[in-house]
A and B are shown apart, each in its own frame.
Chain A
Amino acid sequence: MAGVGQLHLGTPFLPSASIRGRSSGGGGSRRLTTRIQAKIREIFMPALSSTMTEGKIVSWVRAEGDKLSKGESVVVVESDKADMDVETFYDGYLAAIMVEEGDVAAVGSAIALLAETEDEIPLAKSQASSSSSPAASPRAAETPVPPSPSETAPEAVSSPPPSPKSSQAAVSSTHPASESGRRIVATPYAKKLAKDLKVELGSVAGSGPMGRIVAKDVEAAAAVAAAAAPVSSVPPKSISDSAAVKAPASPAIQLGTVVPFTTMQGAVSKNMVESLSVPTFRVGYTITTDALDSLYKKIKSKGVTMTALLAKATALALTKHPVVNSSCRDGKSFTYNSSINIAVAVAIDGGLITPVLQDADKVDIYSLSRKWKELVDKARAKQLQPHEYNNGTFTLSNLGMFGVDRFDAILPPGTGAIMAVGASQPSVVATKDGRIGVKSQMQVNVTADHRVIYGADLAAFLQTLAKIIEDPKELTL
């Protein structure tokens, strides 16, 4: 990619003064600036006005493979002032278009390649594909191959609530009228976003009416893809006893700089703002963990992790309080989710991801632990599939490993509740029989959607959870 500096170096025939001189005219056409590179010339985004820093390709007047003669219009560029036809300076063949219509390129960056002879077109094409322009967005495949129904069906977002009116409220990734998932039903905006964010619609689970893919599904998928990307460069670390990867060590950050959001940060930001529309409240509880700690010590050698134990305990408590596992999406009704899928927040470099332990109430603790390890490994390898991160029904967030004793979590939109887990610490406690003793205790704090989950629901749920954790024999059953 050629920078602005190279534009001037490479194009001595187009003095910048002439650009400025003509820029006020508003009409007329501009000449393309090209740089000789073997016999294949790069066509640059020209500076159409003195204030122009980037230009949008309105339309390509000529197509790839067309023969061009000097002075012919090739492309229409939109600057900050007007649309202008841009002409070529050389005879040749338009070999490869590198920036598609509607995309934006910086002034001086290559937007196409011009081959001098027809024979050089293939060479130019390969050159274009190797030096991919940042603005050129590969078009999303028009008919992405969706996962086969057998794969998606059991892992659908959620299934009908245990109410008689099941067909209406069903939310599943397979659209009822989409021929069991063979056809993708996505709204216009979802399709646009998928193209912009380079998300394969076939791999996105729809959460909209009748299972259609809506914009936020695509955003969520993009967020995960973006999150997975930086993880791969982090050397694998042992995560045996903590869900969260260590907070990213502060890299060399240039102070005073303004950094635009990454796609993932943008998606998180949007989600967080969206969360403000949900009326939440919080209930806290202190749970004694001596029994859990000793259980953990006993079965740690079998690969059981604390995350799995907490997820299992939570899932078991949820089986007794289905309302805490419900979710309200439209503000008019709520869904009793049929599966208990525990999402666990994991901090990663530059973001956050929530792999999901599906059916955590049914899967035994050993399998659950293995599953967890697999999910974390997959997240690092950028292989996490949408159904592995976007169908949680209840979220766990644990900052205990940092010594945090209590905190407060924001409820992810579309779910009913999230539990913030603090560190288990030895505390001096007075027992009922009037003695003073030391016990390990942790504080948990649940944030819930008060439209569907009320204070007494949470209190009862926490009481059940405390009972399970304080007498954890159920966990290993």
Chain B
Amino acid sequence: MQASLSLSLSLPPAAPRSDPAPTVFRPSALRFCGLRREALGLRPLRPAGSTWVFPSPARTPSRKTVAAVSGNGSPSKGFDYDLVIIGAGVGGHGAALHAVEKGLKTAIIEGDIVGGTCVNRGCVPSKALLAVSGRMRELQNEHHLKALGLQVSSPGYDRQGVADHANNLASKIRNNLTNSLKALGVDILTGVGTIAGTQKVKYGKVGFPDTEITAKDIIIATGSVPFVPNGIEVDGKTVFTSDHALKLEWVPEWIAIVGSGYIGLEFSDVYSALGSEVTFVEALDQLMPGFDPEIGKLAQRVLINPRKIDYHTGVFAKKITPAKDGKPVLIELIDAKTKEPKDTLEVDAALIATGRAPFTKGLGLENINIVTQRGFVPVNERMQVIDASGNLIPHLYCIGDANGKMMLAHAASAQGISVVEQIGGRDNVLNHLSIPAACFTHPEISMVGMTEPQAREKAQQEGFEVSVAKTSFKANTKALAENEGEGLAKLIYRPDTGEILGVHILGMHAADLIHEASNAIALGTRVQDIKFAVHAHPTLSEVLDELFKSAKVFECISGVHSMRNCA
């Protein structure tokens, strides 16, 4: 979640599609698109003839205009709403926007604040902190500055100012989200939502769900909370989760980060740039276990080794005691395999970044015979909820962190859009392998599709070959102009068909570069076709250009026509 790019930042979410044919929209909508643009002047011009129309995320459009555009339609007979979404995070928001677009009368129930984890306690505020840490890093890197001919004397920061920036960003994005929902006429119902039965939802204060509404379809989008393993005592001051860390109430001199996934890695970037020394505690034998091993190795060389960071791998934090009575934070480490006591760390603070747990308690799932798996709501590939006996529950869907398929904000939103498509009678299966992920360290890491070991395993099972192509940022003009030559892009593909299986990037602006690859995977574009796409020179995107060009597809090396045949 932390690492995800929020699609809700007034950006139009791309509708996921399983079939390569472009989605067809009502042509009449185009007219309104132009009208809206004129009336608000907020959105960039869309080329005429574009087949894409998105709901307006504008802040304060008149209700009337919006109603004319799409409106929050009238419900199907016998129901209060066509669609009720429980949870107004990025997933629920994306689904609501698309539902209104499709003419569904939609309500969204939120028990906390609009925006969910991503906007309030996740990707959004962390990006603000990372923006600061990136600049601090640049200003502190004397060697780098000197190479550019720059002179900067003693850069410093004001902690409160940094914290305010993160907080202001979160409230700004939250307001944008709330306004976009209101502008479209989505009903925001305040309270905790509970499933009361088939097509029935109650909401109200915790424990008093006094209002019951009916809906033709229901989406559960309740998200997740930081996962804190047993034995760890969180006091919110010296032992805390990302929820507290994002407030940046203090910058400890020495902080242990438990977990070296996206969240931990991003916070290590923030804290080390602000002057903290960091110790990672990782249960697996490798740091950054979720990454492609080669990328992980490079990340360790670039993001860990040269910094004031050390690490303990293959160990569990069995017990963590907050600092008190003049004693430091105590972390008891045990061997992850043998469970033998290994070491004790004494640090100023500990950040628990061991992942996130679904927030599905109190949803009344037992009312309709659902048994969660470690809290996750079981769903099929169409996000339809499966009950205890393995049957699909009609009209009930679960998206986002609550189903645990892919715990990323934009994945939740894409799942929500996919569900709305199905509700509208257009079958849709989201290709999760086309969903990019990013870690906003400096430099950034991004990826889409399979890692090399995953691809090789699949290849072995299914009997195809896998090839790997790599390019370095060191050879890219723009990267060298920025003096940021550290980085690698890696393409995993099938040499027989040219199918792209995965792309992994570590380097400057990797998070923005990944979309060429993720779009190619989503649209089924093959290496031999995409390599003819032109990239502006000199740009970082040429790293991918070179990557695609360096891939070798069998029998497909001469001319466009033979390539078509090949595919």
Contacts and interface: CB of A to CB of B under 8 A. Distances in A.
Interface in A70-119: 81-83, 102
A188 B311 CA distance: 8
Contacts of A83: 472
Nearest to B311: A188
Nearest to B348: A209
Pick from A82, A168, A175 the residue with the most CB of B within 10 Å: A82
Given A177-B330, A187-B254, A212 B305 contact: no
Interface string A178-191: 10000101011101
B327 interface: yes
A50 interface: no
Contacts of B346: 175, 177-178, 185, 210, 212
Contacts of A134: none
A81 B327 contact: no
B328 interface: yes
A417 to B, nearest CB: 26
Given A26-B475, A82-B475, A83-B472, A176 B327 contact: yes
Contacts of A191: 310
Contacts of B277: 187-189
Given A81-B474, A81-B475, A83-B472, A188 B308 contact: yes
A279 interface: no
Contacts of A176: 327
Given A58-B301, A188-B309, A168 B326 contact: yes
A55 B297 CA distance: 18
A188 B278 contact: yes
Contact residues on A (Cβ < 8 Å of other chain), bracket: 20 to 34
Contacts, number: 56
B328 A210 contact: yes
Interface in A371-402: none
A81 B346 CA distance: 41
A209 B253 contact: yes
Residue with the highest number of chain B CB atoms closer than 10 Å, among A27, A59, A183, A189: A189
A432 to B, nearest CB: 51
Contacts of B279: 188
B474 A188 contact: no
B313 interface: no
Contacts of B519: none
B10 interface: no
A192 interface: yes
A45 to B, nearest CB: 18
Contacts of B297: 59
Among A82, A188, A210, A212, chain B packs the most CB atoms within 10 A around the CB of: A188
Interface string B137-157: 000000000000000000000
A251 to B, nearest CB: 31
Nearest to A190: B277
A167 interface: yes
B467 interface: no
Contacts of A177: 327-328, 330, 344, 346
A175 B310 CA distance: 20
Contacts of B330: 177
B286 interface: no
A27 B310 contact: no
Contacts of A188: 254, 277-279, 308-310
B308 to A, nearest CB: 4
Interface of A: 26-27, 58-59, 81-83, 102, 167-168, 175-178, 183, 185, 187-189, 191-192, 208-210, 212, 215
Given A187-B253, A209-B348, 19 more contacts: A26-B471, A26-B472, A26-B475, A59-B297, A81-B472, A82-B474, A102-B301, A102-B305, A167-B326, A175-B346, A177-B330, A185-B346, A187-B277, A188-B277, A188-B279, A188-B308, A188-B309, A191-B310, A212-B254
Interface of B: 253-254, 277-279, 297, 301, 305, 308-310, 326-328, 330, 344, 346, 348, 470-472, 474-475, 550
21 contacts: A26-B471, A26-B474, A26-B475, A27-B550, A59-B297, A82-B474, A175-B346, A177-B330, A177-B344, A178-B346, A183-B344, A187-B308, A188-B254, A188-B278, A188-B279, A189-B308, A208-B253, A210-B326, A210-B346, A212-B346, A215-B308
Q: Which 6 A-B pairs have the closest CB atoms?
A: A188-B310, A189-B308, A187-B277, A188-B277, A82-B472, A26-B475
